[in-house]
């Protein structure tokens, strides 16, 4: 664990104006920064992966909130910074009893293998008719702040309703986006939206707006 920010070569960053985002996913960083930065004026958002090669924490929580807190606290422990944002998101499919849920990123066995995860989803739903392929994305975003008085946690929750298609469509986004057809945007999958369109309707957007309302 690193407790001296200077050891990471971050002497030029102001700890009071720096938020470490607990992710190595450039897409997720862009989404969080685009939505949260205008609300948290003057804050510099930097991905944990930009600050060093840190081991991934064990995400053994049973809920999205527990896993988001694990990631945020680990980022603060490793960097010595005072503010961290982390989110835990997942796809919840009604016909699968809410699966993959908190296991979404590693559902097929290897963390972040989008192709394998989507292949498994298509296989699991192969015999499920159109009317029963409903699903929603869920996101829990946390902001953890530390100072001499201790730790403060703020969190936001968001959902995005839709259904699972039978073929991948679109080249944008990541994860299950090519298979997730939004109720709010008729006829297009999440992967067929522009970044700006996605940011305006996504589960993470709703969670960040919820979080921002508590700042």
Residue-range definition of the domain harbouring residue 14: 5-212
Summarised one tens digit per residue, pLDDT across range 147-191 is 889 999 999 999 999 999 999 999 988 899 999 999 988 889 999
Q: Output the six-digit token pair for 184.
A: 């709010």
Residue 152 backbone phi and psi in degrees, to 5: -125, 135
What digits encode the pLDDT tens for the residues 110-150? 888 999 999 999 999 999 999 999 999 999 999 999 988 99
CATH number of the domain encompassing residue 21: 3.90.950.10
Q: In what order do the strands lie in the sheet with 150-164?
A: 44-47, 18-21, 83-93, 134-147, 150-164, 180-182
For residue 76, count other CB atoms closer than 10 A to its CB: 22
User: Catalytic annotation on 88?
Assistant: yes
Q: Write out the DSSP string of 161-207.
A: EEEE-SS---SSS-TTGGGEEESSSTT-BGGGS-HHHHHHHSHHHHH
Give strand pairing partners of 46.
Answer: 20
Catalytic pick from 6, 14, 88, 177? 88
How many structural domains compose the chain? 1
Q: What is the pTM of this model?
A: 0.85
């Amino acid at each position: 664990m690193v407790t001296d920010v200077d050891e990471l070569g971050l002497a030029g960053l102001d700890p009071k104006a720096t938020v470490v985002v607990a992710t190595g996913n450039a897409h997720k960083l862009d989404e969080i920064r685009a939505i949260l930065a205008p609300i948290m004026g003057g804050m510099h958002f930097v991905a944990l992966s930009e600050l060093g090669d840190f081991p991934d924490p064990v995400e053994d929580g049973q809920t999205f909130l527990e896993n988001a807190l694990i990631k945020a606290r680990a980022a603060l422990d490793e960097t010595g910074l005072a503010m961290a944002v982390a989110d835990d998101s997942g796809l919840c499919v009604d016909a699968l009893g809410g699966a993959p849920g908190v296991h979404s990123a590693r559902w097929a066995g290897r963390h972040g293998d989008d192709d394998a995860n989507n292949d498994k989803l298509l296989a699991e739903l192969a015999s499920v008719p159109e009317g029963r392929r409903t699903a929603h994305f869920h996101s829990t975003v946390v902001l953890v702040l530390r100072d001499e008085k201790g730790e403060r946690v703020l969190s936001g929750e968001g959902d995005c309703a839709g259904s699972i298609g039978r073929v991948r469509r679109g080249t944008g986004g990541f994860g299950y986006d090519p298979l997730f057809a939004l109720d709010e945007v008729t006829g297009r999958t999440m992967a067929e939206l522009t970044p700006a369109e996605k940011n305006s309707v996504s589960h993470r957007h709703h969670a960040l707006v919820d979080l921002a309302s508590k700042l």
